Amino acid sequence: MQVYELGEFLRLSAVLHYQLSAQPINWPNILHITLAKTQLSNRDRAILNQVFTYLARAYGDRTRRLGPLSVLHPIRSTALLTRASEKVELLDLITGLLHDTFEDIHPEAFESENWFEHNPEFSEVIKMLPEIDQWYLMERLHWLTKGPSESYYHYIGRLLNHSGKTPQVVRIKLADRLDNTLDMRIDLEDPLQGIDFFEHIFQLMFITTYTGYRPHNHRPQASSMHGAQRLYQLFKNIVLISLVRKKRSAKGDLVAQRLFKGLVKASIKESQRIALHLFEQHEDAVDRLRELMLETMSYVQKGGIDAVTSTMGDHPLDGLFMSKFDNPDKSALNDLYRDWPLMIEATMAFIVIFLNFLNDPDYYVKGISDEGVHPAPKE
C-alpha cells in the first residue's frame, strides 16, 4: 500500500469500519489488518487486543467530523505507521493507538501526576507492560498531547524538541497527520483517479484549443468540509513538515522519512483535488484561469512562498498564512472560501510549496517557528 494514495486509504477505512460494526467485534481481525506484515508474539497480541477493547469503550459512539467512528482514527493511523515500517515494536504500536487519549478522552489527566486515578480502565491496560515501558509510554503520550491552552506551533515545537531521545514520536505524529489529511473526504473513489492534473495545467497554459477541465465521469461527493477548511488542514501540514525539516527531526530515521514523504505527496494530491473542483465548479473561464496561473507563477518564482509574508504586501497571496490560517477568527476561512480567485492562487501555491519539499532536502517555509508564523526578514 502506498500510504499517500486516497484510493488505498478508502479501502483500508472501509475494511476497518466494517469490522468495527460487527457484533461482537472481532478484535483479532482488526489487529491483523492493523499489523499488515508485522509479526508479534501471542503475548504482545493479547496486550494489543486489550488496548483495542479499551479504545472501543472509551470512544464509544463518538464520531469524526465526517461521520465515521472516532476510534477509527487511532487504529487507522497506527495501520499507516505499520505500512511505512519494516518492523514496529509493541511500545510504538501502543503509543500510536493511544496518542489521542489525553486530548480526546481524559483531558483532565494531561497535567496530573496521578493519572492512574483519572483512568482506572486505562491503568489496567497499561499495567500489562513492564514498569519501564509504562514510564516511556506516559512520557511519549505527554509529548504527543496538545495542552488545552497550547498553540499548535508550540505543541509541535515541544514534541520535536524531545524527539532526539525518542524519534518514534515523530513517526507517530507524521502518521497522525497523514491520516487526518486523507480523512477529509467521503468519496466512492479518488477524484484524481484516471486524471493527469499536470496535463490539464499544461493545456491550460499552452494550448489555445483547451476548453477547460471537465471530468469524464460524474463523481458524487459528500463532505461537510469546504475547500478552505481543507487548505487549513494542509497549512497545518506545512507547519509540521517545516518544523520537522528545520529541526532535522527525521534525519537518519527511514520510517519517519517515508511518512514525511508520504504526507507531502498526500498533501500535493489533496491540493490538486481542491484545484480541480475549483476549475470545474467555480471558475471555468479558461482566459481568467490562465491569468490567475500566470499571476501565481510570477509570485512563486520571485520567492513569495518561500517565507511567511506580511499582510501589507500588494499581491493577493501576501500575508495569506497570517490573515486566513493563523487567524483566531475562523470566519476568515469562510471568507477565503468565497473568494474563488484567491482560493485558486492559494491552492496552486500550496502545490508548489509541497513540491519544493520533495525537490529540495533543505527546503522549509521560513518564518514558521515554535512561536507561530511571522514575516521572515528578506535575505
Distance CA 160, CA 243 (A): 8
Distance CA 255, CA 261 (A): 10
Q: Answer whether 139's CB lies under 8 Å from 166's CB.
A: yes
Q: Answer whether 310's CB lies under 8 Å from 319's CB.
A: yes
Distance from the Cα of residue 15 to its chain's centroid: 21
- Which pLDDT does position 186 carry in this prediction? 80
Altogether, the residues listed in the chain come to a count of 379
Distance CA 266, CA 354 (A): 10
- Report the SS3 class of residue 372: strand
Q: Where are the domains of the chain?
A: 6-147, 181-373
Copy the grid coordinates of residue 289.
484561469
- Which pLDDT does position 379 carry in this prediction? 58
- Report the SS3 class of residue 221: strand
Q: Of 185, 177, 178, nearest to 67 (Cα)? A: 185
Distance CA 85, CA 168 (A): 11
Which amino acid is it at 84?
Answer: A
Q: Measuring CA to CA, how many Å separate 148 from each of 53, 107, 108, 109, 118?
A: 27, 8, 10, 11, 17
**CATH 1.10.3210, domain 6-147, yes or no:** yes
Distance CA 178, CA 166 (A): 20
Q: What is the pTM of this model?
A: 0.93
Per-residue pLDDT of the chain (379 residues; tens, 9 = 90+): 688 999 999 999 999 999 998 888 999 999 999 998 888 999 999 999 999 998 988 888 888 877 788 899 999 999 999 999 988 999 999 999 999 887 877 655 445 555 555 567 778 888 889 999 998 998 999 899 998 889 999 999 999 999 888 889 999 999 999 999 999 988 778 888 889 999 999 999 999 999 888 876 655 555 668 899 999 999 999 999 999 999 999 998 999 999 999 999 999 999 999 999 999 887 678 999 999 999 999 999 999 999 999 999 899 999 999 999 998 888 999 999 999 999 999 999 999 999 999 999 999 999 999 999 999 776 5
CA pseudo-torsion sign 283, 225, 152, 133: negative
- Which pLDDT does position 60 carry in this prediction? 83
- Which pLDDT does position 111 carry in this prediction? 54
Q: Which residues contact 169 (CB under 8 A, 6 or more apart)?
A: 95, 140, 143, 144, 159, 162, 163
